[in-house]
Structure 1
Amino acid sequence: MEQSYEMQSGVLAAMFGTILIIALVVWLISVISYWKIFTKAGKPGWASLIPIYNTIVIIEIVKKPVWWFFLLLIPIVNIVYAIWIINLLSKSFGKSEGFTVGLILLPVVFLPILAFDKSIQYIYNNTNEVDHIGQDS
C-alpha cells in the first residue's frame, strides 16, 4: 500500500514537471516573439519582459491612448478591449482579421509569424494609409 502512494506521487511529480516545461516553452516563445515585435515597431525589446509595461507598449504600438490600459482592468470590458487591441496589433503590421483570430486562438503559432516573417513590416513606419486606426477623430 505504501509503495502505491510513492508511485502515485512520482507520477504526479512527472505530470507537474511536464506541464511546467510546456508552460515555460510557451512563455519563452511569447517573450521572444514580443521582443521582436516591439523592435519591429521601434520600441525597446526589453519592454516585453516587464509585465504591466509591455501592455502599455502594445497600446502605444497600436496608436491608442495609454489610458486604454485601465480599460483592461474592468471585468467584461477587458475582454472586448483586449480583442480590439489584438486586432489593431494585427492591422498595424498589415494583417487581416483572420490573422487576429489566429493571434487569439493560437498565439504560440501566430506571434512568431508576426515577429520573424521578414515580409511583415510595421505599417506606421512606412505609410499613412492606416493612420485612422490609431487616431481619435
Structure 2
Amino acid sequence: MEGGYQQLEPGVTAAFMIVYFIIIAVFYIYMAICLQTIAKKTNTDNGWFAWIPILNVILMLMIAKKPLWWFILILIPIVNIVISIIVWMAIAEARGKPNWLGILMIIPIANIIIPGYLAFSE
C-alpha cells in the first residue's frame, strides 16, 4: 500500500479493544465499591446507587448533603468541574477527613487513590 495509511489487523484492534474494556470495567467496579463503602460508612441510604451510572452522581450528592438539583449543574461544562470538587470536599468532610482531599480529585492519579482512601480508612 504505497502512500496510504498502515492498517492494523482486525485481530490486533479487537485485542486492544478487549484490554481497554477490561481496564475501564475494573476502574468502574473499583469506584462503585468505594462509593458504596463511603455511603455505608456515612449511613447514607441506597448505597446500591453506586452501581448505576446516573444514580451514582445522585448518591454522591446525598453523601455530600447537597441539594439534588445540583445534578443539573454537573451537566454544564466547566461548572461540572467546580461542582465535582465541592461535592468531593463535602464527601471527605462527611468521612471526617480534611476537605482539601476533594481538590486533589482533579489530579489524574490521585483521583484513583482518594476514593479508596475515603472508603477504606478509619
Distance 1:113 1:31 in 2: 14
Q: Percent identity?
A: 36
Asked if the contact 2:85–2:106 (Cα under 8 Å) also holds between the matched residues in 1, the reply is yes
Which ranges of structure 2 fall in alignment gaps of 5 or more residues? Answer: 2-6
Task: Look up the equivalent residue of 2:42 and give its one-letter code.
Answer: A
Q: Which has the larger radius of gyration?
A: 1
Partner of 2:16: 15
Stretches of 4+ moved more than 3 A in 1?
101-104
Asked if the contact 1:86–1:104 (Cα under 8 Å) also holds between the matched residues in 2, the reply is no
Stretch deviating more after TM superposition (93-102 or 7-16): 93-102
Partner of 1:116: 120
Instruction: State the Cα distance separating 1:23 from its structure 2 match.
Output: 0.8
Query: Would you tell me which structure has more helix in proportion to its own residues?
Result: 1
Write out per-residue CA displacement over residues 22-80 of structure 1, whole angstroms, 9 at most, x where no aligned residue.
11111110111111111111123212122322222221221222221221122222221
Which ranges of structure 1 fall in alignment gaps of 5 or more residues? Answer: 120-137
Q: Secondary structure at the match of 2:102?
A: helix
Structure number with higher relative contact order (C-alpha < 8 Å, ≥ 6 residues apart):
1
Q: Secondary structure at the match of 2:54?
A: helix
Partner of 1:130: none
Size of the aligned set, in residue pairs, is 115
Asked if the contact 1:90–1:99 (Cα under 8 Å) also holds between the matched residues in 2, the reply is yes
Partner of 1:62: 64
Partner of 2:4: none
Distance 2:96 2:81 in 1: 23
Does 1:47 find its partner at 2:62? no
Distance 2:54 2:14 in 1: 32
Task: Look up the equivalent residue of 2:114 and give its one-letter code.
Answer: F
